[in-house]
């Protein structure tokens, strides 16, 4: 999540708070009786400890292993710890992370999670966004550091040993994530599949791990357009990505540049390969 995404989320949150204050009616309950039963009936309190005893079920539920969940909790614990008030106990860091991982891994709505976790919808919302922000700010630079020349060479070696593709430093593509169209956004998020989406543009290594990501592109934009306007694309154009100098490929003395592999949506550049246009490689025209 980049700064623009955080600004958008913060602005939307501020708007919703102002609207809630403006339209607030007298509450019928300070805490609804459904939410009061969280410790006895909430999904976290009823099945979480049992899930930890079954590795397969835990992975199915959270889309991550127990060990990875606990490591993440250890890192994020201080960021997710909130003070108890005189009237109520705060949600524990473990439950905050469990709720967020369930939301990200399952695609369940926040309303659905509100009922299953016995937490008010506003509480669910106030947990998920800060937890995602904490994950990004704490882990992004560690897990996706700025690539160095040595990192590029290691990725290229992996591609050759696993895919027999010499001097390849990554595969790049875009992924549309369907959303509800933001108000007054017109056709900005309307994509070629006739849905509304934001785009994740990602460069991955030979093990399918993210190396570089650009998040939040408009659904109407092409992968090539998002790439050209991204920080990554601009730095590639300006030769500021620490990509090593060309080196010989196996069984040859000729040197070739390190390249990123993309589909036909991307432009052909010195360090970016794309397929031949249809018909050029076969000598046939599209009509034949």
- Tens digits of residue pLDDT in 9-64: 555 555 555 555 555 544 444 567 777 888 889 999 999 999 999 999 999 999 99
Q: Taking a C-beta distance cutoff of 8 angstroms, is the pair 32, 120 a contact?
A: yes
Instruction: Give the mean model confidence (pLDDT) for residues 91-105.
Output: 94
pLDDT score at 240: 94
What's the pTM value of the predicted model, to 2 decimals? 0.76
Residue 257: C-alpha distances to residues 56, 204, 244, 273 (Å): 44, 18, 8, 11
Label residue 187 left, alpha or beta by phi (over 0 means left) and psi (-120 to 50 means alpha): alpha
Domain ranges of the chain: 3-142, 149-273
Question: What digits encode the pLDDT tens for the residues 139-163?
Answer: 888 888 999 999 999 999 999 999 9
More confident residue, 281 or 120: 120
Q: Taking a C-beta distance cutoff of 8 angstroms, is the pair 223, 194 a contact?
A: no
Question: What digits encode the pLDDT tens for the residues 55-88?
Answer: 999 999 999 999 999 999 999 999 999 887 766 7
Q: Which two tokens stand for residue 172?
A: 């790049």
Q: Taking a C-beta distance cutoff of 8 angstroms, is the pair 58, 66 a contact?
A: yes
Tokens 């998920």 sit on residue: 128
């Amino acid at each position: 999540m980049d700064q623009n995404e955080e600004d958008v989320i913060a602005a939307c949150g501020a708007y919703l708070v102002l609207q809630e204050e403006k339209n607030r009616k007298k509450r019928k309950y300070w805490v609804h009786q459904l939410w009061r039963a969280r410790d006895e009936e909430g999904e976290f309190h009823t099945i979480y400890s049992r899930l930890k005893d079954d590795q397969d079920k835990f992975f199915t539920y959270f889309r991550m292993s127990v060990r990875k969940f606990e490591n993440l909790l250890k890192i994020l614990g201080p960021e997710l710890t909130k003070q108890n008030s005189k009237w109520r106990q705060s949600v524990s860091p473990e439950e905050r992370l469990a709720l967020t991982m369930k939301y990200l891994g399952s695609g369940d709505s926040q309303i659905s999670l509100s009922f299953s976790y016995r937490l008010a919808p506003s509480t669910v919302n106030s947990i998920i966004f800060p937890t995602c922000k904490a994950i990004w700010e704490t882990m992004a630079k560690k897990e996706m550091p700025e690539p160095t020349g040595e990192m590029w060479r290691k990725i290229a070696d992996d591609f050759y040993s696993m895919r027999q593709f010499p001097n390849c430093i990554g595969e790049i593509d875009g992924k549309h994530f369907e959303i509800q169209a933001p108000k007054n956004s017109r056709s900005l998020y309307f994509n070629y599949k006739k849905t509304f989406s934001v785009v994740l543009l990602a460069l991955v290594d030979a093990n399918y791990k993210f190396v570089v990501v650009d998040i939040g592109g408009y659904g109407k934009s092409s992968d090539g357009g998002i790439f050209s306007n991204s920080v990554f694309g601009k730095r590639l154009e300006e030769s500021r990505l620490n990509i090593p100098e060309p080196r010989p490929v196996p069984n040859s003395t000729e040197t070739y540049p390190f390249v990123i592999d993309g589909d036909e949506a991307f432009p052909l550049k010195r360090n970016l390969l794309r397929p031949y246009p249809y018909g050029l490689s076969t000598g046939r025209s599209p009509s034949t």
